[in-house]
Structure 1
């Protein structure tokens, strides 16, 4: 009898396979062939239910879980306390997925709860964590007001275990990292659990502050844990609209520059209006630098227009640039523009151009040349119609290297117009390259880098572990994960960048642009971590997966919680090699799948 795994069978048939955590085997006999496999490849859904903002004593904790295929087998409920790692409360094996939690067994403070559901085919899903406060004794809690504050925000919190006493609450602030506390605001008499007061920040210098609350009733008093690294930002960003040119036709680039040293630029809106009017319309909205976009002027009536940029920072301050006025849109002239295909070109690439013509478009040819050679080869010739003019080009038909691209417009009347050249785009079809980068939340807060979070880097082929760092065999290795604010690297505040070190030296994994503001402006945070290598089989390919699991912060710690979804971008190091010594491509890899908050 011949035993085959489903993966091996797929390889024999030339199929691409995908895998769950389900256990599976198949068997065959000579006549007839019989195959048996796990029928459920879909993981269950699970949500941890909130037990409330504050809890004490012994309470019931529960989750909601379902699986439409094989059904839910069990739900594990865990907590993460003020210190330590995830700890099991219970494993429920039947609905309702609930159990008792004796909160008096641990210290008072902030806790996170999560649920892990396993279905009967062994697929696993981990819920997002929910937060609560364990308060079995007199406890003062100051709520996190958010990473960025401006104007007069309300600072709020709650008193637990205070009995029937009347308290006065003072909320204090100190420059981050110092212990010189000053009064932000006071509440007067508080006879209910909740408190709040308004903090006028307009007289303070922009920067990072720590906050705490003190509740007092006679000789009874308590101080909350500090909320750290809250940025006060009452300054608007700087913004300048770039001049798009005196006469505009076809598709043009609109651009602006904008900076904000405190909370960072959140977005820039580029606008246009008929010259001399205030009827502004949005051309595009850009969430990260460079603040530019391609704009099709054929949508506009030929006339004179003004252009401006409106920038908003993350704290909510905004500024409007001086307008660039009296720019003429004239699409009665012929124009053609080659669109940028990207800095790195791999596999099949879409090449695109836009064109307008006085007498009509007869054809648009898209051409390539070795960079700087000006020896042009037509990739595709597209018949007249409407923009864009696009074709699919197999970059594997040319040697790896730098190439220039242009578009050539031929009008129905015979006139020929050539676009500006897009220069030095790299064709790179190296077999070993990055394939995917993914982050998984393992901590108490979604969107915040913290202990137990996991980052995985997947290559297209097998990597020699010692090429990443000399002491690495693939087994667990102690490393440091460094996250630097984008500004430290000359980038924007939304370009925080992660790399990995051993003994203070950067290993050959490259870097990951987190595409958001996870670390306070100008700061660096370093985590202790472990690094392992494993092999994943996809179709006929063995792929090395590098897994980084974060531990405690070893330095820095000025971390923020991100609320917007982005896709990570991994730029692999060319220092990594396969088992034959072939170096990895350095082409950037964008996180696959739906954008999420990461970590």
Structure 2
């Protein structure tokens, strides 16, 4: 709390001083001033209220009571709003606002369409803080309501499709379950003449090509026919992925990279398990499990006995289909000789970095020398020599010119034999003062974890930038742009590599790209949103920096949006086209979202 208060005061004073003496484009306004010897008084209430919604049951009809419990130990509860959200809607509707306990109201469901609804309560205390309860799902059925069970976004094999009838009374109905290629009206039956309890099994592996399908249930009694809501875009995937185990060579010693390639045209690759077995054995042992390309891992071969081994890869797609690669046979592990490898220090290097090598020898390690060279040259310079594991040294990258560098390690063993590692090539030294500092997102829509209207994405630089280099002619004022999100499989990044970038009038806005590190879109889909881009300044650690904020509007094109429940840390790759106020180009070094990994949007 104290750090946030100090940052707010510093930011306000800096904005009041017109960007701390430098040109700026912040639209922030002056709000308060303090002087030496002044007094800061804390607010009476820093804690939001607590609130929970009571389950009204399901199904509902007519007028029902909706109740919540709420409390606030400091300034007390001012209001509790009861709200509902129809299925596939994005805006919550207020049923009533209660101001005294017990917090309840009557909900007349007769004016609503029958269907599934979400309910929640929003409590606000007398200090203005609000808390939203967990939502509850219920079904409104004032008439006959036909509900088809949702099988999920991706299915394979035999799938259960149960149907439930609400409000049927004593009338006898027969039910059929139908399918159509997604987006069409060519409905055909999966199950017919179903009687209660209306159970249906969909054998997707017989007569159904892989692809997206729409589903619905139809209830009939005499001349009366009632349809369920359509479940759209269910992907049938009964095809196994394609997977190949790559040959790592032979003999193998020390730390070795094992790798496979895997693709899946339908639901996408979920994971690849790399395995090994002693030659002649059928007992396979996992080396590693990888969930995104490249499907590779580093493994210390000294953890196994010297000998001959076989290798394979097992790929599983999101639907659960499994494929096993052909076996790479006869790979020899021999750690009786010296081996040395240079650890990759990373694609972008700045400031002081650790350079590390791994080395082993049956004769013992006398020393490991780490060297650097301008990329593509053969003029090597010693960085350090280390005689004890871990073989590492600190390198001040500011002592060399920015650019590409190669690295290697040279092992001298106890017998005097010299072994040189493979080269780690083209690692970029980049000490530009302007860099990407942080990227954050915030949920402003109806559904947490889903890209939608009202969500925001914030880019923070390490210094002030010239807004006209972000996009031509821009001053930082609110500007209409297009936010584009592409499925990671379109970019070779896998299911959890969905990527966000920004366009304006058909061209790229120079914000670079953000790898969202989760699966926000169905496989091979692209979605664009109308968005607004603004810029401002803030003060971080005494330095005035630029902040660019994107606020999502309505969905402009595409679809296939998913709701993500997992926490992740986004990675922003800035564009070097952006410069600071003095023309210094921005570093392209990726910036990982700071703070604890959280659920985005």
TM-score interval for Structure 1 and Structure 2 normalised by the shorter chain: 0.7 to 0.9
Alignment of 1:548-587 (within 5 A): 548-562=550-564, 564-587=566-589
Distance 2:516 2:592 in 1: 10
Q: 1:479 aligns with which of 445, 470, 481?
A: 481
CA displacement at 1:108 relative to structure 2: 3.9
State yes or no: 1:543 paired with 2:545. yes
Q: 1:189 aligns with which of 184, 195, 208?
A: 195
* Greater alpha carbon shift after TM alignment, 317-326 vs 406-415: 406-415
Contact 1:147 1:561 in 2 (8 A): no
TM-score for both structures, normalised by structure 2? 0.85
Q: Paired residue for 2:441?
A: 439
Contact 2:268 2:489 in 1 (8 A): no
Consecutive unaligned residues in structure 1, runs of 5 or more: 13-23
CA displacement at 1:544 relative to structure 2: 3.1
State yes or no: 1:208 paired with 2:218. no
Distance 1:587 1:218 in 2: 68
Contact 2:10 2:539 in 1 (8 A): no
Distance 1:265 1:558 in 2: 17
Distance 1:585 1:316 in 2: 41
State yes or no: 1:7 paired with 2:7. yes
* Greater alpha carbon shift after TM alignment, 102-111 vs 318-327: 102-111
Change (3 A) 1:391 1:66: farther
Distance 1:531 1:169 in 2: 51
Q: What secondary structure, in the 3-state scheme, does the structure 1 residue paired with 2:302 have?
A: helix
State yes or no: 1:175 paired with 2:189. no
Distance 2:79 2:291 in 1: 42
Distance 1:393 1:377 in 2: 12
Contact 1:10 1:539 in 2 (8 A): no
State yes or no: 1:154 paired with 2:160. yes
* Greater alpha carbon shift after TM alignment, 122-131 vs 263-272: 122-131
CA displacement at 1:10 relative to structure 2: 7.1
State yes or no: 1:510 paired with 2:512. yes
Deviation string 1:576-599 (CA, Å, 9 cap, x unpaired) is 333333332222223334444533
Distance 1:46 1:368 in 2: 60
Distance 1:179 1:406 in 2: 63
Q: What secondary structure, in the 3-state scheme, does the structure 2 residue paired with 1:467 have?
A: helix
State yes or no: 1:241 paired with 2:245. yes
Distance 2:271 2:372 in 1: 35
Q: 1:271 aligns with which of 254, 275, 281?
A: 275
Deviation string 1:360-389 (CA, Å, 9 cap, x unpaired) is 12333333222123333333433323xx53
State yes or no: 1:428 paired with 2:430. yes
Change (3 A) 1:567 1:11: closer
Contact 2:11 2:539 in 1 (8 A): no
Distance 1:199 1:506 in 2: 45
Distance 1:351 1:58 in 2: 70
Alignment of 1:315-326 (within 5 A): 315-326=319-330
State yes or no: 1:85 paired with 2:91. yes
Q: Paired residue for 1:383?
A: 387
Distance 1:306 1:91 in 2: 68
Q: Paired residue for 2:529?
A: 527
Alignment of 1:365-404 (within 5 A): 365-385=369-389, 388-404=390-406
Q: Paired residue for 2:416?
A: 414
State yes or no: 1:355 paired with 2:359. yes
CA displacement at 1:183 relative to structure 2: 1.3
* Greater alpha carbon shift after TM alignment, 111-120 vs 434-443: 111-120
Consecutive unaligned residues in structure 2, runs of 5 or more: 13-30
Give RMSD over aligned pairs.
3.5
CA displacement at 1:71 relative to structure 2: 8.5
Distance 2:45 2:379 in 1: 56
CA displacement at 1:332 relative to structure 2: 1.0
Q: 1:141 aligns with which of 147, 169, 172?
A: 147
Distance 1:469 1:497 in 2: 20
Change (3 A) 1:372 1:582: same
Change (3 A) 1:415 1:302: same
Contact 2:122 2:133 in 1 (8 A): yes
* Greater alpha carbon shift after TM alignment, 174-183 vs 292-301: 174-183
Change (3 A) 1:504 1:426: same
Contact 2:573 2:589 in 1 (8 A): yes
CA displacement at 1:85 relative to structure 2: 2.5
Change (3 A) 1:205 1:594: farther
CA displacement at 1:154 relative to structure 2: 0.8
CA displacement at 1:244 relative to structure 2: 1.2
Alignment of 1:123-134 (within 5 A): 130-134=136-140
Change (3 A) 1:596 1:295: same
Contact 2:90 2:446 in 1 (8 A): no
CA displacement at 1:107 relative to structure 2: 4.1
Distance 1:431 1:95 in 2: 57
Distance 1:83 1:571 in 2: 34
Q: What secondary structure, in the 3-state scheme, does the structure 1 residue paired with 2:161 have?
A: strand
